[in-house]
């Protein structure tokens, strides 16, 4: 079974107007996303997240390297039939309603009649906009607009959804709704590739994470691999005080308690990110 996403040694250079130099926005990035996984790409502003996504979507031609979607080269039109995309700043016709917007995108994807009407109802329910379906988008909040954007990205039931900052500018409640939507997509078996600055949410929702700085992938792995602190153990105990650390089992049992879990303690993804930012900053000096 082909991976949903395969990016191998992706390089994307842009020419800078300063002395006609070129610079690498993406510098030999490789990553793989298995079908059904939720993958988060995190990194500071300008680190190359959107450029990586655009190359994967065939919107920007790689300078070198290869991007594949379900085994199909991203630069081939065929690759796009499997993919839905929510750009960082989606543009909408503000005079249209949510229903009209989805109809417009559905028709662009070749959908018509009953099939399209059914899909629009399904999506408006999924993004909780049934009650606002007849309202013009000009009157929508940022969170509602992002949800219309998500519905638009899902119109032709893509197997892979690429979300560039799906919660940008959305308040905590709205971003929770978007997080829940991503969970629902995962339950349905859809592969999700997202980038976000909301690290707590990335930690909650993603199976794997890539951390990108200055166009380079500096760390990559499952949340468990990235956040577990090596060479340390923690013990979760019940019914006894925290000071009981040595000979824990006998001691806890002798006090009528029980060891209920043990393993590597974790630092938050946010702390990991900040540690790497400091490290990369020091190396750059």
Ligand X SMILES: Nc1ncnc2c1ncn2[C@@H]1O[C@H](COP(=O)(O)OP(=O)(O)OP(=O)(O)O)[C@@H](O)[C@H]1O
By the criterion CB under 6 A, which residues form the site for ligand X? 14, 25, 43, 45-51, 88
Query: Rounded to the nearest whole angstrom, what is the least distance from the CB of residue 110 to ligand X in the complex?
Result: 30
Query: Rounded to the nearest whole angstrom, what is the least distance from the CB of residue 14 to ligand X in the complex?
Result: 4
Query: For residues 69 and 194, which CB has a smaller minimum distance to ligand X in the complex?
Result: 194
Phi and psi, residue 243, nearest 5°: -70, -15
Residues 6+ apart with CB under 8 A from 23: 13, 14, 16
**Which region, left, alpha or beta, applies to residue 19 given φ > 0 means left and ψ of -120 to 50 means alpha?**
left
Q: CA-CA distance, 77 to 154, in Å (whole number)?
A: 18
Q: CA-CA distance, 58 to 77, in Å (whole number)?
A: 8
Query: Rounded to the nearest whole angstrom, what is the least distance from the CB of residue 162 to ligand X in the complex?
Result: 12
Query: Rounded to the nearest whole angstrom, what is the least distance from the CB of residue 9 to ligand X in the complex?
Result: 17
* Cβ proximity of 175 and 203 under 8 Å: no
Query: For residues 135 and 197, which CB has a smaller minimum distance to ligand X in the complex?
Result: 197
HSE-up (13 A, CA, CB side) for residue 237? 22
Query: Rounded to the nearest whole angstrom, what is the least distance from the CB of residue 48 to ligand X in the complex?
Result: 5
């Amino acid at each position: 079974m082909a991976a949903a996403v395969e990016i191998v040694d992706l390089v994307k250079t842009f020419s800078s107007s300063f002395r006609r130099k070129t610079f690498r926005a993406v510098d030999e990035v490789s990553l793989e996303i298995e079908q059904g996984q939720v993958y988060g790409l995190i990194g500071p502003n300008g680190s190359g997240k959107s450029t990586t996504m655009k190359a994967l979507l065939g919107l920007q031609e790689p300078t070198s390297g290869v991007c594949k979607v379900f085994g199909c080269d991203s630069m081939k039109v065929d690759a796009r039939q499997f993919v839905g995309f929510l750009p960082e700043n989606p543009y909408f016709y503000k005079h249209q309603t949510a229903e009209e917007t989805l109809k417009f995108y559905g028709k662009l994807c070749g959908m018509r009649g009953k099939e399209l009407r059914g899909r629009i109802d399904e999506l408006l329910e999924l993004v909780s906009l049934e009650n606002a379906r007849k309202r013009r988008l000009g009157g929508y909040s940022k969170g509602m607009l992002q949800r219309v954007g998500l519905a638009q990205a899902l119109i032709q039931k893509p197997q892979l959804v690429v979300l560039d900052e799906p919660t940008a500018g959305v308040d905590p409640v709205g971003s929770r709704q978007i997080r829940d939507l991503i969970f629902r997509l995962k339950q349905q078996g859809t592969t999700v590739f997202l980038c976000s600055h909301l690290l707590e949410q990335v930690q909650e929702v993603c199976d794997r994470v890539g951390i990108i700085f200055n166009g380079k992938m500096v760390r990559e792995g499952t949340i468990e691999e990235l956040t577990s602190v090596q060479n340390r153990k923690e013990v979760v105990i019940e019914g006894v005080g925290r000071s009981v650390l040595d000979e824990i089992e006998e001691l806890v049992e002798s006090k009528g308690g029980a060891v209920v879990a043990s393993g590597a303690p974790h630092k938050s993804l946010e702390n990991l990110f900040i540690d790497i930012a400091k490290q990369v900053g020091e190396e750059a000096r």
